Amino acid sequence: QLQLQESGPGLVKPSETLSLTCTVSGGSINTESYYWGWIRQPPGKGLEWLGNLYYSGSTYYNPSLKNRVTISMDTSKNQFSLKLNSVTAADTAVYYCARVLFAAHCGSSSCSHHYYGMDVWGLGTTVTVSS
Amino acid sequence: QSILTQPPSVSAAPGQKVTISCSGTSSNIANNYVSWYQQLPGTAPKLLIFDNIKRPSGIPDRISASKSGASATLDITGLHTGDEADYYCGTWDNSLNTWVFGGGTKLTVL
């Protein structure tokens, strides 16, 4: 059974970098079958997608984060990570990692990927930005 | 303000049916796959529906969904108090180049 577990500091100072890791057990992240993503939820608010990562190293980020976000993977540890720099109080949230399902639509010469949704989620980790 | 519009709250009596709507545009729902999530208080979201209408293994058939044009709906029948949760729709937006979630709908089972 696939499980995801977020870890990292619960408190980050303003202007510093938030760093979280998602450890995956029960399956390999080094697979062409899924993407891996990060989603956050500010206190009392809705869900916000941060970005996705494919085993090839391709990444896709929420443009609203204005180049502050980086997602990477360490296949030797079966982990993927989130870095968010120049944080402010607005980045205070519960951060979730998730596995992402997708469909491949293939033409004569190439395929495009279309997300179905996030089917396995971690429990989430709370990050507070405060001095 | 969310790109996908959901009613803030819905309610129904135990045993009854509720429908939650998710309204979008040609940039998102109309041309991409919709998924639905249930978030019980204090827990992570759980996938209920993907690929517009498909249920993952373990999701009961009293939960169903549909999509027509730029709108999607989630139906839950045979309501019980354990269904009280926040429900979110989600899809890709081709114009924004981002995954978007609805603002969420709080379901109360009276």
What does each C-alpha distance from A121 to A24, A101, A124, B18 come to in angstroms? Answer: 10, 12, 8, 26
Residue A112: which pLDDT band, with cuts at 50, 70 and 90? confident
The Cα A47–Cα A34 span in angstroms is 21
- Average predicted confidence (pLDDT) for chain B: 96
- Please report residues of B whose CB lies closer than 8 A to that of A47: 37, 45, 88, 90, 101, 104
* A96 and A85 Cβ atoms separated by less than 8 Å: no
CA separation for the pair B73, B96 (Å, rounded): 22
Taking residues A47-58, what's their average pLDDT? 95
Which residues from chain A sit within 8 angstroms of residue B35, using beta carbons?
116-118
Min CA distance, B50 vs chain A (Å)? 6
Which residues of A fall within a CB distance of 8 Å from B97? 60, 63
Do the Cβ atoms of A121 and B97 come within 8 Å? no
SS3 label, residue B33? coil
Per the CB < 8 A criterion, the answer to whether A38 and A71 are in contact is yes
* Contact assessment for residue B39 and residue B89, using Cβ atoms and an 8 Å cutoff: no
The band of A103, judged by pLDDT with boundaries at 50, 70 and 90, is confident
- Whether A66 shows a pLDDT value over 80: the answer reads no
User: How many residue pairs from chains A and B have C-beta atoms closer than 8 A?
Assistant: 69
Q: Write out the residues of chain A at the interface with chain B, using a CB-CB cutoff of 8 A.
A: 37, 39, 46-49, 52, 60, 62-64, 96, 101, 103, 114-124
- Residues of chain B with pLDDT > 70, as a percent, come to 100
Mean pLDDT along residues A86-114: 92
CB-neighbour burial class of residue B108 (10 A; exposed 0-12, middle 13-18, buried 19+)? middle
**Is pLDDT of B53 > 80?**
yes
Contact B101 A49 (CB under 8 A): yes
pLDDT for residue A110:
84
**Contact between B50 and A46 using a beta-carbon 8 Å cutoff:** no
Among A60, A116, A123, beta carbon nearest to B35: A116
Residue in this structure with the two tokens 């062409």, named with its chain if needed: A32
Q: Which among A62, A101, A122 has the least Cβ separation from residue B98?
A: A62
| B48: confidence class by pLDDT, cuts 50, 70, 90 | very high
What is the spatial distance between Cα B85 and Cα B25, in angstroms, rounded to a whole number?
26
- What pLDDT does residue B52 have? 97
Percent of chain A with pLDDT over 90: 88
CB atoms within 10 A of CB A64: 12
DSSP letters, B34-47, are -EEEEE-TTS--EE
Local confidence band at A104 (pLDDT 50, 70, 90 cut-offs):
confident
By a Cβ cutoff of 8 Å, what residues of chain B touch chain A? 2, 32-33, 35, 37, 43-47, 49-51, 56, 88, 90, 92, 96-104
The answer to whether the beta carbons of residues B80 and B14 sit under 8 Å apart is yes
Which residues are paired to B38 by β-bridges? B46, B87
CB contact under 8 A, A47 and B46: no
Bin A67: left if φ > 0, else alpha if -120 < ψ < 50, else beta: left
3-state SS assignment for residue A78: coil
- What does DSSP say about strands B46-49 and B35-39: parallel, antiparallel, or unpaired? antiparallel
- In the structure encoding, which two tokens stand for residue B99, read together? 């995954």
